[in-house]
Amino acid sequence: MAEVVVITGGSAGVGRATAEEFARHGCHIGLLARGRERLEAAAQSLRALGVRCHIVPTDVSDAEAVERAASEIEQQLGPIDIWVNDAMVTAFAPVKDLTPEEFRRGTEVTYLGTVHGTMAALRRMRERNRGVIVNVGSALSYRAIPLQAIYCASKFAIRGFTDALRCEILHDALNVHLTMVHLPAMNTPQFDWALNKMDRRPQPVPPIFQPEVAARAIWFAAHHRRREVWVGWPTVEAIIGNKIAPGLLDRYLSSAAYSGQLTNEPKPPNAPANLFEPARGNWGAHGRFDARAKETSWEMWTTRHQGWLALGVLLLSSLGVGAILQGGNRVLNGRGKPRRQLQRIWR
C-alpha cells in the first residue's frame, strides 16, 4: 500500500525536490505552502509521476490552519505515514538592520511552523502508534553564521524542540520515529526571494549541492531509524568543528562568512522578499546556481558510518589543534605573551 506523505514548504526548493523523490517511490503526496500557483504547478508534476497529490494553501505559522490541512489531507489521501517539516523563511542582514517584526515572522514560520506540523502529525500518529516525522535542519542548526541570525536561531530552536520531543516519545514507548536531516548549502530559490538588506545578491556558502541531494537524504531518514542524518562533508565539518574550536570559528566566520554569502552582483532594485508574503512566480526546486552545484554527495555513506566518521574526524582534528597550539605557543612565547592568551581562541 502506498505511503501518504505530507511536506510543508513543498512548492519549491528542497520541499519540492523531496516531494518528487517520494513520488518516484510511489507515495501519495500532501503539499502545504502559502502560494497556490506554485502548489498547483508542483501537484501537476507529481501527478505526472502517477501518484495522487492534494494541495492545501497554508501558512504554517497558523497552528489551526495546519491542523485543518492535516485533516483535509487524511480525508483525501488516507492516514498520514510520514510528515516532513521543511517550510522556512529568512532574511540576509546583520541584526542591527532587522526589525522585531522580521524576527518574529521568521521565527513563527521556520520554528513554530515546524512545531505546528509536528504536533498535527503526532496527534494522528499517536492514535495509530506508527509514523515518521522528519524535521529538516541544517549545518547552521549547530554552527550559526553572520547575516542569518533569524534562520540560525530558528534552526537551533528546532533542534532543541526535536531532542526534547524525542525523549517524550521514548518515555511513552510510541512507535513513532522522529529524526532530523541537517543540510549543507543548497541551490534553491531561497537566495533569490528571501528578504535581502545587503547591497549585493546573496549566495549559498560554497560548496553548493543540488536540492535532489537533500531529497534523497530525507527519503533515507524517513525509512531508516537514524536519530540524525548529516548530509555532505561540509555539514560534518561544521558540526564537528564547532564542537572542537567554536572560538576560532567565530573569528574566521566574522569575515569569511560575509564574503562567502555575497556575490559581486548588485541587488536588483525589484528583488522579491517572501518573508511576509509568498513571492510571485513559478519557482521550482532549483535556484540560479546549477553550474556550480554538486549533484552527488557522501550523504549516504556519512549517515551509515556516522559514529565512526565522527570519531575519526574528532581524533584527526584534535591532533591538528594540538599541532597548531604547539606551533602557536612557540611563536607567542617568543614574543613574551602568555600561553593562556592563545588558548582562549579555542574556547
The number of residues making up the chain comes to 347
Architecture of domain 4-298: 3-Layer(aba) Sandwich (3.40)
pLDDT for position 107: 98
pLDDT for position 98: 98
- H-helix or E-strand spanning residue 36: helix 36-47
10-residue mean pLDDT series, the chain (347 residues):
96 98 98 96 97 98 98 98 98 98 98 98 98 98 97 98 98 98 97 96 95 97 96 93 94 91 94 93 92 78 60 66 53 45 33
pLDDT for position 347: 34
Domain-by-domain residue ranges, the chain? 4-298, 305-347
pLDDT for position 281: 83
Residues 250 and 235: their CA atoms lie apart, in Å, by: 17
Q: How many CB atoms lie within 10 A of CB 148?
A: 24
Closest CA to 298 of 240, 230, 207, 238: 230
pTM value surpassing 0.75: yes
Marked catalytic residue, from 111, 142, 151, 258: 151
pLDDT for position 296: 83
Q: Is 151 a catalytic site residue?
A: yes
